[in-house]
Chain A
């Protein structure tokens, strides 16, 4: 089936090229049928890529090691769930995933816009198929997921142990969905700029897909953070890794866009800004894709160095030049239709928020690419870490949270001082009270003032959202006399964008409170303990109870059981292990390769609403080294003897001798591993007590929930009914019509 898979890629490439050309030809000549050919090309591409992906998936599920990617990223012992998700752990499979998702989302947008934005759609179709052409070219000419070998190995290399985590398997599809969804607003923006159709219609199309991109990208980013926290064994969730930053930048950019587009919808302002944001978001998404695949920056997330760097640089250059050119060309049509009425208005708040978000993008971009620039200029590579980001990002984040609290309680166009007083009094009081209480609880001083300010601002934001929801429910109940739960549901249902957005803001506040607390008030200790010994971290006594060890041909692990108590009372029992997977390199020794291959950690974690107690073991295997070396020597000698007799005996006898040798090897490895329990030695533990980490994940869930509400479409029948009523109602007054469309 590899041949079929490769044929599907080549066919897909041909369809993408044909479709792009047909769309452009059709729109330039006014021949509708050619435009429809372009549309059908997108649907066909989606079908072809689905087939191709099914073929690749089935190869992984069947452990067909004639496929190079399967041999390199899976094994017969890989659990089925991870076999299904292993395709995108490889460069080749992930590129196919990219094209597949691109074709699916493109098909969806063309289906949803059939009959709408007719002048723009052909150009958008051509651009989306252009992206498809680019990525399919990579799979056809550079990174073929259907490459095979005529001499398949008996066993595959297996999945990278670090990827054996549910979050890590869902994270790429979410991230790639975000990236590919960003190409849709890009394509429609370019189409709108080319055609000069810069009115309201294309915004209505683009806004929803921008929101979907924001949601998927955000979920992908947070899943990555979760994986980092529970799998990587360093105790953190965000390392300002270049690839993490590469996903964050377009997310920040599109966050700015989904706010400022509201200003364009309502006031016809910020057209150049919005066009720049939407074009910039997609460009940053491609830059992120480039970072992961080119090897220019070191990252645990990267696929490593490859030949894909140059094509990506060319694509990015084309996107940047085309974006700038189109905006400059259409500047007259992009002039604002009105001005800012007042600095005390929601428009002004959104504008400030946009500036903050773009400033964050700039900071992250500059600091992320600084090593590359430094190397290019000075020849010396500089590595930058979290301390380079914090001085800039933290103050900007504080301002962002403040604005996210102000936005919901300030009206469009203008507000009076009296209204400000009415709307701000309670939230400001709550925020200030929170701050004062925390300062007092901390003894009147704090070495973490910024964290305390974040707590105060978070309380302010949550209060504004609660106040808004309460007032909305009260207003609704005044009209309908519904019970509170029904009034709440109806309020949100009829104002999804607004209240979905408010819920997102509340989630952001919860998340950033968690970030501030866990990063500023964390207590950690790097200790070496023998069984029975203990360490004290932030008032918790953590005692090393007993060692653990296990050995199978696929993995050996060393671990520990730890007892956590406080004030003499048992709090929890933690178990942490470090697993070692056999390396394929025979020079490491017959025994040695089992102790020197890839490793992963299972953290011991007790998560709570107020704090997490986290630990990871890092066993030093040097006490076993002399036995390992001796074992390598003995088994190598035995193996050498068997192989020297191979010419004189049958193949079956040789194999039997080798099997017996490997059985002995496995017994030896089990024995060596068991020494960790029978003759335990001191091992290193990283112990962390970190407050409010769970708030980060809770905040993420709230954000996702709010995003879904904002994204959820009004049912079509309700929309048609509302439009029909509005059509009848507008003869009386627009206000009546507006109410009818609610």
Chain B
């Protein structure tokens, strides 16, 4: 009997927890049940931000490669120029996506 009651109690908790968002939605429409941090809700922006971070990492990697002698000055200049141009493209795309959004 005790086990049966325990199971019933667990079942009740499970139903309340799992269906919570459905009840919240009926009271206040736009709720993020996960309570996450504020982020841009547009996937294109999120993709571009991730691409931006990756490009910054690449620029840093190139600088580190240059400072540790893996890239000559001429090669570094060429690579850095290319990477910065790519980064600027991403930043422009990000600006456009934010304006659109």
Contacts and interface: CB of A to CB of B under 8 A. Distances in A.
A415 B79 CA distance: 11
A393 interface: no
Interface in A705-742: 726, 730, 733-735, 737-739, 741-742
Given A114-B34, A423-B69, A738-B56, A36 B21 contact: yes
Interface residues of A, number: 67
Interface in A438-468: 468
Interface string A238-276: 000000000000000000000000000110000000000
Interface stretch (A38-46, A58-66, A359-367, A655-663): A38-46
B56 A412 contact: no
Contacts of B70: 409-411, 415, 419, 423
A115 B36 contact: yes
Contacts of A114: 32, 34-37
A125 to B, nearest CB: 11
Contact of A197 (B10, B47, B48): B47
Nearest to B33: A36
Contacts of B72: 416, 418-419
Nearest to B37: A115
A298 to B, nearest CB: 41
Interface string A466-481: 0010011001001000
B71 to A, nearest CB: 5
A428 B75 CA distance: 23
Contacts of A498: 61, 64
A117 interface: yes
B64 A495 contact: yes
B41 interface: yes
A116 B75 contact: no
B30 A19 contact: no
B6 to A, nearest CB: 6
A39 B35 CA distance: 12
A19 B37 contact: no
Chain B interface residue bracket vs A: 35 or more
Interface in B12-69: 14, 17-22, 24-25, 30-39, 41, 43, 46-51, 53-65, 67-69
B32 A733 contact: no
B53 A204 contact: yes
A33 interface: yes
Contacts of A492: none
Contacts, number: 187
Nearest to B87: A734
Given A4-B6, A410-B70, A411-B75, A36 B59 contact: no
Interface in A412-429: 412-416, 418-419, 422-423
A265 B90 CA distance: 14
Interface in A90-117: 110-111, 114-117
Contacts of B65: 411-412
A526 interface: no
A416 B79 CA distance: 13
B18 A199 contact: no
Given A40-B18, A266-B54, A738-B59, A419 B10 contact: no
A7 interface: yes
B35 to A, nearest CB: 7
B71 A4 contact: no
Indicate the member of B3, B24, B43, B84 with the most A CB atoms within 10 Å: B43
Interface string A590-631: 000000000000000000000000000000000000000000
B2 to A, nearest CB: 9
Nearest to B21: A36
A199 B47 contact: yes
A38 to B, nearest CB: 9
Nearest to A43: B17
A200 B80 CA distance: 21
Interface in A23-74: 31-34, 36-37, 39-41, 43-44, 48, 51
A665 B55 CA distance: 77
A15 B10 CA distance: 12
A633 interface: no
Contact of B21 (A15, A33, A412, A738): A33
5 contacts: A7-B3, A32-B21, A32-B25, A40-B33, A413-B82
Given A36-B32, A116-B39, A498-B61, 7 more contacts: A36-B34, A41-B18, A115-B34, A200-B48, A201-B49, A411-B71, A495-B60
Q: Can you list the 6 inter-chain pairs with the closest CB atoms, starting with the nearest? A: A115-B36, A734-B87, A199-B47, A114-B36, A36-B33, A33-B25
